Amino acid sequence: MRLLSRILRPRLEATAHCDLPCGVYDPAQARIEAESIKAVQEKYQANEDPEFRERAVLIKEQRSELVKHHLWVLWTDYFKPPHFEKYPELHDLFNRATKAAGAGGTKGSMDPASGQTLLDLIAQIDKIFWETKQG
- The string of pLDDT tens digits covering residues 50-91 is 999 999 999 999 999 999 999 999 999 999 999 999 999 999
Whether residue 19 is contained in a domain is answered as no
Domain that residue 109 falls in: 25-134
Whether residue 112 is contained in a domain is answered as yes
Whether residue 55 is contained in a domain is answered as yes
What is the structure's pLDDT at 87? 98
Whether residue 7 is contained in a domain is answered as no
Mean pLDDT along residues 87-106:
97
| DSSP characters over 38-85 | HHHHHHHHT---HHHHHHHHHHHHHHHHHHHHHHHHIIIII--HHHHH
Domain total of the chain: 1
Whether residue 12 is contained in a domain is answered as no
The whole-model pTM stands at 0.84
Whether residue 9 is contained in a domain is answered as no
